[in-house]
Each structure stands twice: as structure tokens, then as C-alpha cells.
Chains A and B, each alone.
Chain A
Amino acid sequence: MKALPHEARRKRRVAIDAALLFVVILLVVQMWLLTATLESYLAGHKSVALPGFLASAVLFGACVAIYFFVDRLDRAPEREEQPHGFGPWDIH
């Protein structure tokens, strides 16, 4: 059982934190997009509904891509070799 080098773990943590921050930014943009589209729609500008929907779909796609990235990175074991009987009851 050999732990990953400290530098590799740090890089992974930074990458995940950056990805999380990016998702939050995308979400804020998407919230703004939804309110702006709704406001325009209520003001009678019906033509903005389709571009708003497409832009929202692109942002959602980016969120999904980042989610899979974080999921894959976060699932990777912290150690090169999986300890036997992995669980909180194991004392290492």
C-alpha cells in the first residue's frame, strides 16, 4: 500500500476545486439567463425564448461534462493500492 505523492494529490484537489468553482459560475450565468429570458418573454419579446433555451442547454452540457470530470477524478483512489476491507472500521 503506497500513498500517491503529495504533489499529485494536491494537484488533484486543486483541479476538483477549480472545476467546482467553474460549475458554480456556470450556474450563476444560467440563473441570470433564465431570469433575463423570462423577463423578455413577459415583455412580449417571444423571439428570445429559443436562443435562451439553446444557451441554457450549452451551459447544462458544460455542467454535465464537469460533473463527469469531477466524478472520475474524485473516485480515483488516494492510494495506488486499494487497502483490504476498505471502510471506516479499518484502522491503518
Chain B
Amino acid sequence: MEAPPGSSKKPLWTEEFSVHAADDRYVLRRQFTKFLTLTSFGMLVGNGWIYVKSLLDARTRGAALPHAPIATSAEVPVGGVKLFRYPTAQDNCILVRTADARLVAYSQKCTHLSCAVVYSSDNRRLECPCHQGYFSIETGRVLQGPPPRPLPRILVEERDGQIFATGIQMQQEGA
């Protein structure tokens, strides 16, 4: 409905459609800044989450990891592999007997993007098939590829024909 001529009152349609379509798509500088600030808040939440997680880890770190039986000695001959879960059912690990009296075990999660690493007996190394990340079977350190850190080492003991996992050792690059 048009306003009567000479009236200072705005036409009704200006209330219903107060912004031109082109202006509706226009992003103001302050709107853009608000978006960037919200993104910054997202980053802060991310850092906060890491901090909270580290506090929770510190709380559970005091509890000693269990000594868990993971295999019998007969199950893992020289060059043989056994997959197991330690310390929880979500943590996949790999046990390899590299020599008669030498057992090594690592977390099976590649430190790059968490693909499962597998043992290559020909090359005597652990290989991540996703991005060709290779780890030393003796130390777990990175030999090649994108993984940024060595594999966490699972401490194992063999006694009375039984193999036990006794703990986890986080390893640093270059160690």
C-alpha cells in the first residue's frame, strides 16, 4: 500500500522488504570481523580441550598399568606376529619376535593419521600402508615417511611360557 502523496510516512512495503537483495548478500566489515573472532573462539575451545584432556590424563597417570597376558610363547615364533589390545580394548598393539629371545611390541596406530601399521618381515620394519610411513622394528623410530613421532612402545615380559604387557613407553623423536 502506497503512502498518500505528501505524507512523510514510509510506504508499507519498506517495512516488509527492508533490505535490497543485493544488500542482503553484502557482508559488512564488522560482520566479517565477528566471524573471524568466532573462529578465534573456536581455536580457544580447541586449546581448552587439549588442556582439559591433559588434566584428565594426569589424573589417570598415577594408576599403574596392568600386567596383562597377551600371548603364549608358542604363539609367537621367530619372525612371528601377534596382535593384541593394551591397555584398553580400543588400543591395538602389535607384538613381534625378532630373535629367539627378543620380543618387541608397539602401538599399532601410526603416529601420522592412526592407520594400523603392519610388520614387513622381508624389510624388518613396521610399515604404514596409508602413506608409506616406515618404523624401525628394533626401536620404533621413524625411518621414512610423514609420521612425526616414533611409535609408543609396549613393555613386554616373557616368563613361564607366557608373554605379558607391563606398560607403555612414549618415545621422543631422536631418542
A33 CB contact (under 8 Å) in B33, B41, B47, B48? B47
CA separation between A52 and B51, bound complex, in Å? 8
Contact status A70-B148, CB under 8 Å: no
With A38-B50, A41-B53 given, is the CB distance from A67 to B37 under 8 Å?
A: yes
Closest CB in chain B relative to A37 CB, distance in Å: 6
Contact status A34-B10, CB under 8 Å: no
A contacts with B, residue count (CB < 8 A): 40
- Chain B neighbourhood of A60, CB < 8 A: 37, 40-41, 43-44
Q: Across the interface, name the chain B residue whose C-beta is closest to A59.
A: B40
CA separation between A70 and B27, bound complex, in Å? 14
Among B10, B20, B47, B170, residue most surrounded by chain A Cβ atoms (within 10 Å):
B47
CA separation between A75 and B57, bound complex, in Å? 47
Closest CB in chain B relative to A31 CB, distance in Å: 6
Query: Is B172 part of the binding interface, using a Cβ–Cβ cutoff of 8 Å?
Result: yes
Among A19, A26, A55, A87, residue most surrounded by chain B Cβ atoms (within 10 Å):
A87
A-B Cβ contacts below 8 A, count: 108
Contact status A52-B47, CB under 8 Å: yes
CA separation between A72 and B111, bound complex, in Å? 47
Closest CB in chain A relative to B59 CB, distance in Å: 11
Contact status A67-B10, CB under 8 Å: no
Contact status B54-A41, CB under 8 Å: yes
Contact status B33-A71, CB under 8 Å: yes
CA separation between A43 and B96, bound complex, in Å? 23
Contact status B53-A56, CB under 8 Å: no
Q: Across the interface, name the chain A residue whose C-beta is closest to B58.
A: A46
- Chain B neighbourhood of A70, CB < 8 A: 29-30, 33
With A43-B170, A46-B57, A60-B41 given, is the CB distance from A19 to B149 under 8 Å?
A: no
Query: A residues near B, CB below 8 A?
Result: 16, 19-20, 23-24, 26-27, 30-31, 33-34, 37-39, 41-44, 46, 49-50, 52-53, 55-57, 59-60, 63-64, 66-67, 70-71, 74-75, 85, 87-89
